[in-house]
Structure 1
Amino acid sequence: MGFEEATPIQEETIPVVLQGQDLIGQAQTGTGKTAAFGIPLVEKVSGEKEQIQAVVLTPTRELAVQVAEELNKIGNVKRITALPIYGGQDITRQIRALKKHPQIIVATPGRFMDHMNRRTIRLQGVEMVVLDEADEMLNMGFVDDIKAILKEMPEERQTLLFSATMPRPIQEIARNFMKDPVTISIKAKELTVPNIVQHYMEVPEKQKFDVLCRLLDIHSPDLAIIFGRTKRRVDELSEALNKRGYGAEGIHGDLNQAKRDSVLRKFKEGTIEVLVATDVAARGLDISGVTHVYNFDIPQDSESYVHRIGRTGRAGKTGLAITLVTPREIDHLRYIEKTTNRKMERRPVPTLAEAIEGQQRLTVEKLMETVGSDGLTMYKSLAEQLLDDVDSVSLVAAALKMLTKEPDTTPVRLTEEAPLRVGKKKFTDQSRGRGPRPGAAKRGGGGGFARAGQGKGRPPVNPRGRRERDTSRDRAWGRDRD
């Protein structure tokens, strides 16, 4: 598969898992943790048994598909099959696929619960359970589903839990459902990959889009991902980029599965050069060849920042990550630098002349490539005729002008967003713009929690005056987002 040496998480994890011990791995996306649990998992699973022997739970559909793809590659020679199971896909099709007896199931919690309830998944042969990106599953309201799933698993099993952070609910799962787990932690300084060059530019909100376009003209990235904070932002950005002549499409939580698959396929095949995404939609994406990451909006926290820039600089290759920051967000940028132990280099905002120069350089490269290719014979006689009327320098200059994509200044309108401040409450692309999350308490007039009797159908109030969370509605919300 092209692996030459183990990453730190793989080096420490693989021997522990092969010994059969439960394990907690604290590691971010992009550190190689799929192979860290995937290699020993495939090693321990038997291809001769026609039953489910391992279950991997992931927060999103995209991550489920990608983990399954990776496990199928690792298990190819052993004839081990991993099947992705997720919401948004026809359940009868999944039931048919289950009848082919895959050894490994990679699933989102909501759809896995559906199959458990339908008795279309049998768990008696499960020997290993992996919780991948557990903190993200917590953020998406899946914790009660995870507990219900783990209760149904055979007691004599090996459990592996991977999480970037260890909030209290995740620690509780580890306490209640794991046996003397070994803890492996990758330190923060190892999380921001050293082969990613990290820059930032201080730009007023109204100028950010023009600066982004100049950067695209200067860098001419093969494949780039642009991160926006909200779904609306992603839609507006992708539309505006297309108006300016860039091949771009957006991906966020509101897209149906068929559309998401289509966008990702186009991006992987290079049909589009720019993918615009929210944090949640891009979580777990492992697309080789991404050369540039642009944070159009500064991320909410250091975890999101590390996750975003980890989309580039993969498999030992170098990458470039640029963050656009408004003057009022500088303190938030410093906070991210402090918590990731990595300074970002400040760069001046590129000028229009630099953008034109970048496009001219690209045109020259294309022209020289064409000169070195075959099939020019039929054009040479035409060139000789032109040279009878025009001098060679003017002719080449005209060709360069015609081929150069000069910066487009078509007016676009983006909805301005409030700047982020240090400690600002985190919103995901699920929660922003959709009103209060189901089951969440509403604030009263004085900033405290609303009291009993204020409005019908509200959850009960506990003795401290705080509303009890309706976890059944939370679970339904999580499955709906899944």
Structure 2
Amino acid sequence: MTQNSEHTPAPADVDPQVVEIAEEIVTEEAVETAPEQTFADFGVHPAIVQALEAKGIVHPFPIQAMTLPVALGGHDIIGQAKTGTGKTLGFGIPALQRAIGPGEPGWDKLEAKGSAGAPQALIVAPTRELAVQVAGDLTAAAAQRPLRIATIYGGRAYEPQIEELQRGVEVVVGTPGRLIDLMRQRHLRLDLVNTVVLDEADEMLDLGFLPDVETLLGAVPAVRQTMLFSATMPGPVVAMARRYMTQPTHIRAADPEDEGLTKKDIRQLVYRAHHMDKDELVARALQAEGRGRTIIFTRTKRTAARVADELTARGFAAGALHGDLGQGAREQALRAFRNGKVDILVATDVAARGIDVDDVTHVFNFQAPEDEKTYVHRVGRTGRAGNKGVAVTLVDWEDMPRWSLIDKALGLGQPEPQETYSSSPHLFADLGIPKGTKGRLPKEKRVLEGLEGEVLEDLGGPESAPRG
């Protein structure tokens, strides 16, 4: 790798503004990662290596192999990667490695300065679900170290979060609004943070959070390591990187054989379907051979609730996740999905980021997504962590113009999806649905506990939820 960006040609789809501020560009083509390489080979703390091995995580993914040498050296990073590529550990391991926990070397110096227990790393995420997922991954990686990791987000009572901060934490993962609230109430100290991570920066832009993010960046020390990760690099994100980062290295994780905007491990099927037949079509498709955990995306909260109820009535173990649910109900649905109590999650786009379940086998778009970016985020919930996946999109007649634009933007080559009904032979053949399958799950196959298998917690605090 060269340290001079003049000698490294920019990939065609990298914003030239990003190149201007980048110290170097590292692409997957430029990094040769031996398959036997382990996290230990990158100088990762032995306790973190052991904790990851206990979870069966031994070999880094490409984005991690590219990020770790730069990030562990303390350099600023702009990471550009498709969803599902494993970037959480790419930034999480360096943040954990730099932090000092109670009783570890250097802790006595923090105590002497009166700074023991103040956050040393700040990770900002756009949604509650993503914050919870990131914190979970970091907690697993830090399982054999005394580091304390707090998850801070709205929709829950303030008091438990305040008490947790007062007891002392080394790493804070949170959403912008609640982080700012606690900072202004002087419960959250940011003056000793040495590592800042902005995860899914383009989503923060979409949700209108960039001003809040800049408020947080203005509150942390000027001398720090900053890592920004984003699937795309729109102008406002680039401008923020210019203002708050120092000679960042631009890391672009892309498989040279995977030129599309969606991952090549995802088989994408598109059908023109009638809205009156979709329930039956989906119910039959959910009985396809090899179908495991599944996410069904809908355009509206009302549709998500209706489809979840309909599938439950047909014998499937399904839960809904949308913005009209209180935080307790949303976390109940996510836990049930992760723990295998339900294997179908019917969700609005509030769930398009932050559901980090590696073994989602199928994603359904119940209606055509709003745009190509939404489509990419949705189908990226499957085919994660090296697995293969299937994405099925059902396009209504009236949505054909919208779908045509999505297809053209992504180069999918399916501008005129085949007219398809629940009884269409090609549907059965494409998805491997057993012959004779009807739209109700046979009683002998109803083996999961369902949503009731997870406790609905009273989390206190407001039950308001973000858009979704």
TM-score by length of 2: 0.73
Q: Does 1:150 align with 2:204?
A: no
1:417-449 deviation per Cα after TM superposition (whole angstroms, max 9, x unaligned):
xxxxxxxxxxxxxxxxxxxxxxxxxxxxxxxxx
Q: For 1:97 and 1:333, how far apart are their aligned partners in 2? A: 47
Equivalence for 1:241: 311
**1:107 corresponds to which of 156, 162, 174:** 174
Q: Does 1:196 align with 2:266?
A: yes
Equivalence for 1:178: 245
Quick check: 1:54–1:127 contact (8 Å CA) kept in 2?
Answer: yes
State the 1:163 CA deviation. 1.4
Equivalence for 1:3: 57
Equivalence for 2:423: 351
State the 1:262 CA deviation. 0.7
Quick check: 1:8–1:186 contact (8 Å CA) kept in 2?
Answer: yes
State the 1:280 CA deviation. 1.9
Alignment of 1:260-271 (within 5 A): 260-271=330-341
Equivalence for 1:32: 86
SS at the partner of 1:147?
Answer: helix
Quick check: 1:132–1:161 contact (8 Å CA) kept in 2?
Answer: yes
State the 1:350 CA deviation. 4.5
Equivalence for 2:43: none
Alignment of 1:296-445 (within 5 A): 296-343=366-413, 349-351=421-423, 357=435, 359=437
Mark the runs of 5 or more structure 1 residues left unpaired by the alignment.
364-400, 406-477
Q: For 1:291 and 1:358, how far apart are their aligned partners in 2? A: 23
Worse-superposed segment, 157-166 or 107-116: 157-166
Q: Does 1:290 align with 2:357?
A: no
Q: 1:336 to 1:31 in 2, by over 3 A?
A: farther
Quick check: 2:79–2:250 contact (8 Å CA) kept in 1?
Answer: yes
Equivalence for 2:13: none
Equivalence for 2:48: none
SS at the partner of 1:217?
Answer: coil
Q: For 1:314 and 1:205, how far apart are their aligned partners in 2? A: 30
Counterpart residue type for residue 84 of structure 1 = T
Q: For 1:343 and 1:35, how far apart are their aligned partners in 2? A: 34
1:208-234 deviation per Cα after TM superposition (whole angstroms, max 9, x unaligned):
222112212344733211000111211
SS at the partner of 1:206?
Answer: coil
Q: 1:178 to 1:221 in 2, by over 3 A?
A: same
State the 1:311 CA deviation. 1.6
SS at the partner of 1:122?
Answer: coil
Q: For 1:177 and 1:244, how far apart are their aligned partners in 2? A: 53
Quick check: 1:110–1:479 contact (8 Å CA) kept in 2?
Answer: no
Q: Does 1:221 align with 2:275?
A: no
Equivalence for 1:58: 125
Q: Does 1:45 align with 2:115?
A: no
1:237-276 deviation per Cα after TM superposition (whole angstroms, max 9, x unaligned):
1122223232222111221111111111112222223110
Q: 1:304 to 1:262 in 2, by over 3 A?
A: same
Alignment of 1:469-480 (within 5 A): none
Counterpart residue type for residue 119 of structure 1 = R
Counterpart residue type for residue 7 of structure 1 = F
SS at the partner of 2:192?
Answer: coil
Q: 1:169 to 1:212 in 2, by over 3 A?
A: same
Counterpart residue type for residue 20 of structure 1 = G
Equivalence for 1:164: 231
Counterpart residue type for residue 311 of structure 2 = L
Counterpart residue type for residue 10 of structure 1 = Q
SS at the partner of 2:394?
Answer: strand
Q: 1:283 to 1:94 in 2, by over 3 A?
A: same
Q: For 2:293 and 2:356, how far apart are their aligned partners in 1? A: 13
Which has more radius of gyration? 1
What RMSD over aligned residues (CA atoms) do the two structures have, in Å?
2.9
Counterpart residue type for residue 58 of structure 1 = A
- Number of positions where the alignment pairs a residue of Structure 1 with one of Structure 2: 372
Q: For 1:357 and 1:327, how far apart are their aligned partners in 2? A: 27
Counterpart residue type for residue 3 of structure 1 = I
Mark the runs of 5 or more structure 2 residues left unpaired by the alignment.
1-51, 108-116, 447-463
Quick check: 1:135–1:163 contact (8 Å CA) kept in 2?
Answer: yes
TM-score by length of 1: 0.71
Q: For 1:329 and 1:19, how far apart are their aligned partners in 2? A: 49
State the 1:8 CA deviation. 2.8
Equivalence for 2:162: 95
Equivalence for 1:410: none
Q: For 2:443 and 2:363, how far apart are their aligned partners in 1? A: 29
Q: 1:112 to 1:230 in 2, by over 3 A?
A: same
Counterpart residue type for residue 32 of structure 1 = G
Q: 1:40 to 1:328 in 2, by over 3 A?
A: same
Q: 1:5 to 1:300 in 2, by over 3 A?
A: farther
Equivalence for 1:126: 193
Q: 1:404 to 1:7 in 2, by over 3 A?
A: closer
1:140-163 deviation per Cα after TM superposition (whole angstroms, max 9, x unaligned):
121211111111110111111111
SS at the partner of 1:284?
Answer: coil
Q: For 2:443 and 2:191, how far apart are their aligned partners in 1? A: 67
Q: For 2:445 and 2:316, how far apart are their aligned partners in 1? A: 14
**2:329 corresponds to which of 231, 251, 259:** 259
1:368-393 deviation per Cα after TM superposition (whole angstroms, max 9, x unaligned):
xxxxxxxxxxxxxxxxxxxxxxxxxx
Q: For 1:326 and 1:6, how far apart are their aligned partners in 2? A: 41
